[in-house]
Amino acid sequence: MTEGISMADQSPLLTHTDKATGVRTLTLNRPHRKNAVDGELWQLLHDALSGAGQDPELRALVITGAGGDFCAGADISGGGREGHPLTRMRFINEVALMLHELAIPTVAKVDGVAVGAGWNLALGCDLVVSTPTARFSQIFARRALSLDFGGSWLLPKLVGMQQAKRLALLAEIIGAEEAKSLGLVTYVVAVEEIDAFVTDLANRLAAGPPVALAQSKALLNENADRTLRDALASEARAQSINFATADTPVAFQAFVDKTDPTFTGEWNVQ
């Protein structure tokens, strides 16, 4: 699940970038805590997402976990919890927003547990790829807590209000196939195949037209709560931006020539 990354690295967040494809992988690396996120790891995630958003060479981002688990949520064991809870939550909220607003496509690669904020970290990605044995839970109620890391916004949009309430209020643990049937997992792939599958998926996303993909992602995120009139106005604005890149004529020519286009996202106003 962490091909090409040495687990000898003791950093709580491992970063690997394939410069040939522009795909970066962030690996949560606290396997002794099932990759539960403590204060240090929240800061590292914040910095990594900020860096990803400012790197013009990046075309896609994969988030995964080390040691056979994705993420057991926030680490509530007691360490690194200085300061007012609201201050800590505001910082965690910044991380959630940075992931949601990241212009490049994001993929969560999930094995083992993805619970609480860990599941919502996966749901905050654009696509979720899971092994058949992965387990998911909005576990907050079992800890006398309420939803966070965007769960109260994400769940009703993805599964509807009744299923969202079921998942939140009962804090049930569900498997990968049920999560997929609810629309909470995009693909379920055998554990021995998931690394290759996600690599291919991320490479396909990275090969797409970066400006157009960013526009489509933003339109889907923004227009879910707007009227059709608002959505159409946003689409017209985004399409005008796309026509001002080199990618559109390249795509049209490739269609005519029956070849594969190479997209750069370069501005091309005459």
The model's pTM:
0.90
Query: Is-contact 72 113, C-beta < 8 A?
Result: yes
Q: What is the pLDDT of residue 269?
A: 77
Q: Residue 148's closest CA among 178, 118, 104, 188?
A: 118
Q: What is the pLDDT of residue 227?
A: 85
Burial environment of residue 52 by CB neighbours within 10 A (0 to 12, 13 to 18, 19 or more) = buried
In the predicted model, residues of the chain with pLDDT beneath 50 are 1-8
Judged by phi (left if over 0) then psi (alpha if -120 to 50, else beta), residue 129 lies in beta
Q: What is the pLDDT of residue 5?
A: 45
Q: What is the pLDDT of residue 118?
A: 97
Reported as a single tens digit per residue, the pLDDT across 1-31 is 444 444 447 899 999 999 999 999 999 999 9
